[in-house]
Chain A
């Protein structure tokens, strides 16, 4: 029977395909709908936070940092509550990572603050002697792409029904109308920072990458949830 297959490449290929395709269905489908549901009270990322997430992707922090707290006491003591599936419902892509050269960041917003991040991203060893994390000084002068972040918000709202407000809609004009809100959010972050370049840029209506990144890092944890009314 197998020798017959080996003489009939077409059926051989079909056989291989069936054998390998089968497992994928069993692995991915049963839980698909369940895993798409957000936990109660979870809010989508703001546009500034999305721009920060892009900085996180661009500078590829995932190379060293995970965002997945496993249910072990040693991890919940270090990083806080273990991660829940529904907390990732708005994460496209997921950013769990597969290597912890640095610590987990899934709830880093709960125990680090803007000024700490400012010091740390500028020169990690200034706050953590012995750190091997690179300094990301260029993030203090590079401009974050908030426009593309807005486009992402529009996309996930329209296609995946992510619950954004009515002011997030397609088109350049809608973006121009929305832009001041992003800048205001950036100002609030920059107000807690000391770097002169950062303050100047924000005053000039530009968002330095580090401001967006810090907004994103601060959002990881309790701030991902709607403020209780």
Chain B
């Protein structure tokens, strides 16, 4: 073990995933903005013939932002920070390097196939699991390769104890692996019918209510293990690292982690309230959702307390701003979710725009903010140049914060109004509104959301530009910054 010699970390893989995170982030949010605009201005449905309708593009949006943008962000940050907190360089193991490169190559293949097959209309129609069986198999391989790389790195680590971020990445790997496998179980019809019909088509192993339970066991925990767990892993590394502060409390980290692991899985049936799932199961989902507030808030509070006394960093360093606001939006979505999981509230909220509102508090304010902050922090260290422009980050921050606020407030009002209108009765006890009344009334809110999309996308383009400039033409650095990222 070379005692004090600084390790030369190898960022080849982290860089590759940084590029794809930027690319897929842009594509996914562009589609998001388009579908948001389509609900306000339906004529936009016909830009790309049958491939351009809201309905075809919506799963493309969710899959590109989840499997493209977020997962790239997860892999990029993992291959960056795992080396550093485990104190091993990927250059030390040809094996790890090979596995990781293979993983990236297959990831590109899968991402391309995903876009193509979904546009063509091959889908299992289960949310966040739309890809048909050949793609599912490919995704399993990619995931397994990641697991191999992860545990191989852990195997050769020099740092005995695992840092908090690693706990979360391990959980991300295990949780997604288990849930993805079970939810995508399907029988390809071509083989089961003696060679009739399309080879892409499959039928789910489960039917009806069972299928719903398995789907939302996955759907809810995909949120847990893709939008929450690895992102928490990121903030536990990047916030203390960027600020130079020590994590506020080990105990709080510990209880939040195991609490989250234990409680999250029980809450999935809050997606199935008032459905044909047994009453007791629904109640269970509701109750555990409320309990879930605390392990979620635990991590956020731990991060906010880590910044105790560092007000000038908050006002002065835009990356800290991003991360502190991300914690706050994380708190917002993990309180809003549990409240929406209360059965009486869900009677209104379910099926309405309040849910996409809740979703985007999380994915924009928390996930996207955190990933962008992390990539900004990584850039000077990976490319050995300072960040191209601080002013640009500042501007981006305010534009995107405005965008998130517009998104969630408009959908909040739209959803609550819509939900209450569906239930409203006149003095005779007859329904007060026809369905179309509840659609047309939403037009202004849909328009505001489309505007918020344009703003968020603009911010993302500023991010992409700043990153590309940082990679190519910003001032070179002679030595690696210890904490605060240098920016012009």
Chain A interface (Cβ < 8 Å from any Cβ of B):
2-3, 6-7, 9, 12-13, 16-17, 19-24, 26-28, 30-32, 35-36, 54, 57-64, 66, 68, 70-72, 74-75, 77-78, 83-103, 128-136, 138, 142, 145, 147-152, 154-156, 158-160, 170-172, 174-175
Contact = CB atoms under 8 A, between A and B. Distances in A.
Interface in B105-143: 121-127
B355 A152 contact: no
Nearest to B51: A138
Given A20-B261, A28-B214, A155-B189, A172 B121 contact: no
B480 interface: no
B55 A61 contact: yes
Instruction: Tell me what chain B mostly uses at the interface: helix, strand, loop, or mixed.
Output: helix
A63 B215 contact: no
Nearest to A131: B436
A35 to B, nearest CB: 4
Contacts of A95: 125
Nearest to B203: A92
A9 B123 CA distance: 37
Given A7-B161, A24-B265, A59-B121, A94 B208 contact: yes
B154 A74 contact: no
Given A63-B54, A98-B355, A154 B189 contact: yes
B19 interface: no
Interface residues of B, number: 91
Instruction: Tell me what chain A mostly uses at the interface: helix, strand, loop, or mixed.
Output: helix
B345 interface: no
A9 B204 CA distance: 35
Nearest to A103: B435
Q: Closest 3 A-B residue pairs measured CB to CB?
A: A88-B208, A148-B197, A23-B265
B276 A148 contact: no
B209 A35 contact: yes
Contacts of A158: 192-193
Given A70-B274, A92-B211, A94-B212, 16 more contacts: A9-B170, A16-B170, A19-B258, A20-B174, A31-B210, A72-B423, A74-B425, A97-B351, A98-B127, A102-B435, A129-B436, A132-B38, A147-B196, A147-B198, A170-B194, A171-B193
Interface in B267-285: 268-269, 271, 274-278, 281, 284
Nearest to B261: A19
Contact of B53 (A59, A70, A89, A147): A59
B456 to A, nearest CB: 20
A13 B261 CA distance: 12
6 contacts: A31-B210, A68-B275, A68-B276, A90-B208, A151-B193, A172-B194
Find the residue from A74, A90, A95, A138 having the highest chain B CB count within 10 A: A74
B41 to A, nearest CB: 9
